[in-house]
Amino acid sequence: MPQTRDAAWRGFFLTEEGLSASWLAGGPGIDIKARAGHLAALLEDFEVRILLLVRDQASFVRSLYALHLQNGGTLGFAEFVGGIPLSALDWLDIARTYQGSFGQGNVHVIPYNAECYQLGTPPYPGFLSAIQGAMGISDPVEVPRNHLFNPSIKTNLLPLQLAANKVLAPPLARDVSSLLRSGVTEPVRVIQSVRQNRGREDAAAVRAALAVEAVKQATEEATPFSAEEQRAYLANFNAGNRDMFAQFMADYDASAFLAA
């Protein structure tokens, strides 16, 4: 968040998603160290605050997988996660990289997980007010967490989307995604909606894609971590996450980021 010394300017904001997506060959991957250096050069003479919003790595890759399916992907969950190098999910390394370019006191790390705000005495009730506090807003306002503008596909519906993506034309699969994200979650209702909006032929294609056996197979592929698998995955990041909370988020509960 650059701020000029001119009191007439309150500041302006630059946002960047996917800072850790450098493993995506055809996607928005970036060189994090180069990006930090370029931003530092671009924002020279500004007062800059870097705000990093982080969530635990297990729920992060689960969310990325939902986005993969939402965008028409056909990989199973295990294959998708297996393609993400663990080093790309080292939030502490990213934070320290930006500290190297902007200074230790100018980088703020904020937890996304609701659990981090529910135990102990966190300074803010949620991540939105925590962001506002880091921005210097004197009276932060929290927004309910269910106030979503761009909802993702819910975990239990991922098999339906995977089954659709595997056999349907992309435009029709996107329609299925829109329906699932808007609250039309029963296959029969999805089929009815497609028939109403696109006709019988497309409805028949969706009916075949969402047949019981097809969804059963997709369920085996698209089901995210079990509780045990999630603990094992988070164990890869225990040391870094613990140090990250100690350095940047000492007033927040770190349990959601650590393998139990």
Residue 197 lies in a domain: yes
Residue 208 lies in a domain: yes
How many structural domains is the chain composed of?
1
> pTM of the full predicted structure?
0.87
Residue 108 lies in a domain: no
Residue 20 lies in a domain: no
Residue 149 lies in a domain: no
Give me the chain's average pLDDT, please.
88
Residue 168 lies in a domain: yes
Q: What is the 3-state secondary structure (H, E, C) of the chain?
A: CCECCCCCCCCCCCCCCCCCCCCCCCCCCCCHHHHHHHHHHHCCCCECCEEEEECCHHHHHHHHHHHHHHCCCCCCHHHHHHCCCHHHHCHHHHHHHHHHHHCHHHEEEEECCHHHHCCCCCCCCCHHHHHHHHCCCCCCCCCCCCCCCCCCCCHHHHHHHHHHHHHCCHHHHHHHHHHHHHCCCCHHHHHHHHHHHHCHHHHHHHHHHCCHHHHHHHHHHHCCCCHHHHHHHHHCCHHHHHHHHHHHCCCCCCHHHCCC
Which domain does 201 fall in, by range? 155-222
Decide if pLDDT at 229 tops 80.
yes
Residue 244 lies in a domain: no
| Choice among 22-36, 104-118, 139-153 with the minimum mean pLDDT | 22-36
What is the pLDDT, as a whole number, of residue 26? 54
pLDDT digit string, tens, across residues 36-48: 888 889 888 888 8
Residue 40 lies in a domain: no
